[in-house]
Amino acid sequence: MNLNSFSGTPNIFGLDYLGFRNLRSVFWNLSAAELVEQIILRQEGKISRTGAIVVNTTPHTGRSPLDKYFVISPKTENSIDWGEINRGIESPQFERLLIKLQAYFQGRDVFLQDMCVGAHPETATSVRIITEKAWHSLVSQNLFLRLSGEELANFSPAFTVICAPGFQADPSNDGVNSSTFIVLDIEKRLVLIGGTAYAGEIKKSVFTYMNFILPQKGILPMHCAANVGNRGDSALYFGLSGTGKTTLSSDPERKLVGDDEHGWADHGIFNYEGGCYAKTIRLRKELEPVIWKAAHQFGSVLENVVMDPLSRTIDFDNTQITENTRAAYPIHFVDNYVINGCASHPRHIFFLSADAFGVLPPISKLNIHQAIYYFLSGYTAKIAGTETGLGKEPVATFSTCFAAPFLPLNPCVYADMLNNLLEKYQASVWLVNTGWSGGKYGYGTRIPLANTRAMIHAALKDELNDTPMRKDQWFNLFVPLRCSGVPADILNPELTWKDKKFFNATASHLITLFDLNFRKYYGSVSDEVYKAGPRISG
């Protein structure tokens, strides 16, 4: 390995397998306190008034989906669902990038974290995260599962991530789209990340790898949060960014299993991770006390959050850098969490959609065919301010399985697995609109978080099982007529709109978008699933 020095806790499995030579220093499995020291010494970030590290990743403040690739190999050629999301790259191009990274790291310091993914012993996968930035090492330590001293000493990585934001690819010679790249080689169990400092690329690269290997073991990988009640009743919360997945699962009345990535096996559900990567824009202490407290602790990393340079106070309302502000913290910063990261089979499953068109019912119960339809649809809506280039009108987003950018296999593989698990364990599935009521975005208002929590709590306590339901004429959904703590009119979106013709036109428009999106599954799903979606009557 030819390094001048090392610090931390090394193990017997070095870096020779990566071809790394002449490194200056390797900072091996440093503690949070040691990493904070390095971050400040290297001027990678600043410390807030409460001790959290604040970093800025501009120009990349989100993922770069057009710069993500899979290496084409005998193992992936016929298994990856190739297309616009899963782009292919040839092995020689990957090797060229790896050689350039080997050269780039010569004479530089390297930070290394040996971690684990998969809380259940039968699914535990060892992962090594190698970074040029100390703060990326701290984020990795916060997000993945930590190992004991003995486990570290005998560590052997099953998967490796190399992250070098300072290295820029040459698109004309390296066969990539831009100077940024995220390239995953399933055969070599190695991912290369360059040209971007956004920490979500590390997290989601590991998630993507798990989404490839777990189905082969009969385990459903899921982009969802999970928590568990005092009765041992677990619940899953699927949803895209901005739908409230982390917020609703971080419930003081229930123990948190995890906030983002889980597996469902014959023994129950389990967290992939050991931490949370919470969206923090417009975070409120009174509404989200669990996330607020964790985000302010020493060792947490606040990504692209604005801080007053004099008082060192955090301004979660400030969108100067991005709407996609994040807090990365270990799960033990949450007072009420499941220590072993595992729970029983889910009793309730919630599909969260922030419907900015304001026409979806706030909560409705799905049968198994509807569950698979809405799982494959993965619907939410984007609004102005959440992404560059968006206008004043809502934009429907369909991310299959609520995880399209991270699914290497055909979506129907995951849908079939969910169908089998629902049939076997009989979980109740609910579609929850955390978006708008009384009109679409710009006209109506966001459904109050307190109302959404009340509906979810009612479902979790089985209070809605005996509640009379009405069949929604637009979306073919069964909607409760009443719910404790929720005004009756909110339960029927049409009643909250002043302009009924505008409601009808908006609902018809969204239903058309659902239909257009789902046509790609014709012939791949059963007729019952295909017909389970909304239809324009008449």
pLDDT digits (tens, 9 = 90+) for 64-78: 999 999 999 999 999
The DSSP call for residue 86 is: S
Gap between the Cα atoms of 257 and 236, Å rounded: 10
Alpha-carbon torsion (403, 405, 409, 411), positive or negative? positive
Residue 81: what pLDDT?
Answer: 97
Q: Which of 205, 52, 207 is nearest to 130 (CA)?
A: 205
Query: Yes or no: is domain 5-217 CATH 1.10.1530.10?
Result: no
Which residues lie below 8 Å from residue 89, measured CB to CB, with a gap of 6+? Answer: 69, 70, 71, 72, 175, 176, 183
Q: Which of 132, 115, 449, 141 is nearest to 277 (CA)?
A: 141
Q: Is 69 helix (H, G, I), strand (E, B) or coil?
A: strand
Where exactly does CATH 3.90.228.20 map onto the chain? 345-530
Gap between the Cα atoms of 517 and 377, Å rounded: 7
Q: What percent of the chain has pLDDT over 90?
A: 88
- The packing angle between helices 500-518 and 368-377, to 10°, is 80
Residue 345: what pLDDT?
Answer: 98
Residue 6: what pLDDT?
Answer: 55
Q: Is 251 helix (H, G, I), strand (E, B) or coil?
A: coil
Query: Yes or no: is domain 278-333 CATH 2.170.8.10?
Result: yes
- Please give the mean pLDDT across all residues of the chain: 93
Residue 390: what pLDDT?
Answer: 46
Question: b/e for 272-281, b at 16 or more Cβ within 10 A?
Answer: bbbbbbbbbb
Gap between the Cα atoms of 433 and 360, Å rounded: 6
Q: Which of 142, 145, 144 is nearest to 297 (CA)?
A: 142
Phi, psi at 38, each rounded to 5°? -65, -40
* Average pLDDT, integer, range 513-522: 96
Q: How confident is the model at residue 531 (pLDDT cuts 50, 70, 90)?
A: very high
3-61 per-position pLDDT tens digit = 445 565 555 568 889 999 999 999 999 999 999 999 999 999 999 999 999 999 999 99
326-366 per-position pLDDT tens digit = 999 999 999 999 999 999 999 999 999 999 999 999 999 99
* Active site amino acids: 63, 204, 223, 241, 245-246, 260, 326
* Average pLDDT, integer, range 260-288: 94
The DSSP call for residue 337 is: B
Query: CA 242: distance to chain centroid?
Result: 11
Question: b/e for 81-111, b at 16 or more Cβ within 10 A?
Answer: eeeebbbebeeebbebbbebbeebbeeebbb
* Average pLDDT, integer, range 128-152: 96
* Residue 207 identity: F
Residue 2 burial (CB count, 10 A): 10
C-beta of residue 262 within 8 angstroms of C-beta of residue 224: yes
59 prior amide bond cis, ω within 30 = yes
Residue 394: what pLDDT?
Answer: 86
Both tokens of 483, joined, read 């719910």
Residue 12: what pLDDT?
Answer: 57
345-530: CATH class: alpha beta
* Average pLDDT, integer, range 100-112: 96
Gap between the Cα atoms of 207 and 118, Å rounded: 10
Residue 468 has pLDDT above 70, yes or no: yes
Residue 538 has pLDDT above 70, yes or no: no
Which residues lie below 8 Å from residue 231, measured CB to CB, with a gap of 6+? Answer: none
Q: In terms of residues, how long is the chain? A: 538
Where exactly does CATH 3.40.449.10 map onto the chain? 5-217
Residue 14: what pLDDT?
Answer: 80
Residue 11: what pLDDT?
Answer: 57
Residue 453 has pLDDT above 70, yes or no: yes
Q: How confident is the model at residue 383 (pLDDT cuts 50, 70, 90)?
A: confident
Gap between the Cα atoms of 517 and 507, Å rounded: 15
* Residue 193 identity: I
Q: Which of 41, 306, 278 is nearest to 142 (CA)?
A: 278
Residue 2 has pLDDT above 50, yes or no: no
C-beta of residue 29 within 8 angstroms of C-beta of residue 294: no
Phi, psi at 192, each rounded to 5°? -115, 130
Residue 8: what pLDDT?
Answer: 58
Residue 242: what pLDDT?
Answer: 83
* Average pLDDT, integer, range 523-529: 95
Q: pTM of the prediction? A: 0.93
